[in-house]
Structure 1
């Protein structure tokens, strides 16, 4: 599996497209923010624009590992654990922590993606994909995130846009 050199997230498609050497190599369903796109701290929105993977957290953890404050709690998600904490925003398996690259749009001040703790992270398999339901992050299936994690280097560019990507949606994968 080639290392990815660009991730493109379409809010309209609710899809992550991963590119290696300019060719589409990965297509994964995601869930972005229920509150839609937006950059302001406290908005619960998914930030737009050019970002980068600033940190990778969770290498080697079991699939479904529960992360709180970017640390493993020692728990692995189960339906029973979910029932004990019904309102929790589950961050599972791995974290790809994003940092904005556009000062004033998604970097620094009240729009800083990194300080908003915006991640690509796993979520319970009971949660739907392809539907905006997150609190601002980009949720993925745990198995998809675990497979993606080692293919995405720190500093990998991540473009998040509202627009649909019809030419990519139907392109064959490498």
Structure 2
């Protein structure tokens, strides 16, 4: 199992045995790619899913600090909390695999709290807009959550061409 995210395509591909078995639109960082803490950018490179949070939660369940609040996202709730970065439904917490690039120190993906997570239906997919995380539709992230185990490798690339290269090397 391998997940590939391409920033230029704003797409996540779920791959098994060298072939794409699912494809989802995503929204990555509005500020593009970057590794550093505080950059509000999506980190590149090899990662793995370190933790899965939210099993069994309803679609639209609100998480703060990786804990469910008991709330379900609605436009009214959003209006009561303007400017909140909504983390909904499920969380796949990423951990960098490349020391000095996306792991340890000021570039540590896990310490940056970079997730694949659900977002409100009002958030557009297919265009950059997050604070660094990889946002998905709630139904899509719930489906992906059920499909992938902890430890699944995730490669985040700038260009879709690199995604094709990752897939080719995974099938060898």
Provide TM-score, normalisation by structure 2: 0.93
Q: Which residue number corresponds to residue 172 of structure 1?
A: none
SS in 1 for 2:32: coil
Partner of 2:36: 40
How far did residue 20 of structure 1 move? 1.1
Superposition pairs of residues 7-156 of structure 1, within 5 angstroms:
7-156=3-152
Q: 1:112 to 1:17 in 2, by over 3 A?
A: same
Q: CA RMSD in A?
A: 1.2
TM-score in terms of structure 1 length: 0.92
Q: How many residues align?
A: 164
More helix by share: 2
Residues in 2 aligned to 1:135 and 1:30: alpha-carbon distance in whole angstroms: 13
Asked if 2 retains the 8 angstrom alpha-carbon contact of 1:100 and 1:107, the reply is yes
Instruction: Give the match's secondary structure for 2:4.
Output: strand
**Residue 6 (str. 1) matches residue 31 (str. 2):** no
Q: Shift in Å at residue 98 of structure 1? A: 0.1
Counterpart for residue 169 of structure 2: none
* Secondary structure class of the residue paired with 1:47: coil
Task: Identify unmatched segments of 5+ residues in structure 1.
Answer: 169-174
Q: Map Cα deviations across residues 8-31 of structure 1 (whole Å, 9 max, x no partner).
A: 000000000110111110110000
Extract structure 1 runs of 4+ deviating beyond 6 A.
none
Distance 1:149 1:12 in 2: 23
Runs (5+) with no aligned partner, structure 2: 165-172
Paired with 1:166 and 1:41, the residues of 2 have a C-alpha distance of 24
* Aligned equivalents of 1:114, 1:167: Cα separation in 2: 22
